[in-house]
Amino acid sequence: MTRVLHEIEPIVRILFGREASFPSVSPNIVREEEGLTRVAFDRLLDWLDDGKESNGETYLEMRRRLVSYFDRRGRLSADELADETLNRIGRTLEKDGVIATTPPARYCYVVAKYVLLEDIRRERRHVPLDDSRGGTVMERRVMTRPVPDDGAMLREQRLECLDCCLQSLKPEQRDLVVEYYRDTKRQKIDRRRELAARLGISMNALGIRAWRIRSALESCVETCCKGPRQV
């Protein structure tokens, strides 16, 4: 359920627009499954919002950042570690009521760092004897990783799903991603600059807008591909 809700989040954004009030639903489920009490979770949401009501958006955004952080640091279970980080903070808020460190995002990083170190230590303790000279986990994974191409059927399926997901975009969203991601090198840079000027926004804002649409499409494709296999 948690996974499904995380995956459908971008789809809901496509359907109802970027500003749609989606997220207060998903985090609750995550927390209930992880055993965080409602009081702790409510406090966590309020604390992350830092005085601004985001309807759970800040929580989701922080979770995405934490997942990326753990993933970049080579952790296999990046999602679980991100949840563990937020759980710890929630429990602290439940116990103490307040956290003095500000801003909240900085404190999240501090806790995440500890969670990372603990996970690394835990992994070292559990390395099988015959693996002890096989290099780091990262190196082993690199050596054994599958080739990105996962078969013609699956590729076909992904393409079809992508077609469908693209069709659910609004025309202006489609135009934006085509303009933003087409071409290469100098042409691409010039095109993006023109696009930003035309829309009256900065290059950064344009990049974020394009990223949101692309990310939503990516999640839509994942969900679409899982659908037929589950039936």
Partner 1 sequence: MSLSHETRYSDEQLARYLLQLLPEGDMERLDEMSIADEETAWRLRVVEDDLVDAYVSGRLTGETLKHFEAFYLSSERRRRKVQFAGNFLDKVEREAASSKVGRSAPWRLREPIAAGWCLAAAAALLLACGALTVRYVQLRSVLSDARGQSASLERRARELEQQLDRQRAANTETLNELGRVRTAMAELQAAATPPSNASSGTSQALRAIALVLFPQTRAVGQIPTLVVPPGTSRVTLELRLESNRFPRYQAALKDPASNVIVWRSGRLAPASTSDQQSVSVAIPASVLKAQHYSIELTGDDTGASTEVVGTYAVRIAF
Residues numbered 64 to 103 that lie near partner 1 (CB under 8 A) are 65-69, 71-74, 78, 103
CB of 130 to partner 1, least distance (A): 21
Query: x/- binding map, residues 26-45, to partner 1, per CB under 8 A?
Result: --xx--------x-------
Closest CA to 70 of 101, 109, 31: 109
Q: Per the structure block, which two tokens stand in for 169?
A: 């975009």
What residue has token string 């013609």? 152
Give min distance, CB of 192 to partner 1, in A: 10
From 19, 51, 100, 106, residue interacting with partner 1 (rule: CB under 8 A): 106
Contact with partner 1 (CB under 8 A) among 22, 41, 47, 59: 22
Q: What b/e readout covers 212-231, taking b as 16+ CB neighbours within 10 angstroms?
A: ebeebbebbbbbbeeeeeee
Q: Which residues of 85-114 are buried (b: 16+ CB within 10 A; e: fewer)?
A: bbbbbbbbbbeeeeeeeeebeebbeebbee
Angle at which helices 104-125 and 57-72 cross, to 10° = 40
117 binds partner 1 (CB under 8 A): no
Task: Decide: 110 and 101 in contact? Cβ < 8 Å.
Answer: yes
User: How many residues in the shown chain lie near partner 1 by CB under 8 A?
Assistant: 83
Choose the binding region for partner 1 from 3-11, 118-126, 127-135, 193-201 (rule: CB under 8 A). 3-11
Is residue 20 near partner 1 by the rule CB under 8 A?
no
Decide if residue 184 touches partner 1 (CB under 8 A). yes
Query: Burial of 7 by CB count in 10 Å (0-12 exposed, 13-18 middle, 19+ buried)?
Result: middle
Task: Please choose, out of 91-99, 122-130, 166-174, 193-201, the segment that lies near partner 1 by the rule CB under 8 A.
Answer: 166-174
Q: Does 173 bind partner 1 (CB under 8 A)?
A: no
Q: Which of residues 96, 159, 190, 197 is near partner 1 by CB under 8 A?
A: 159
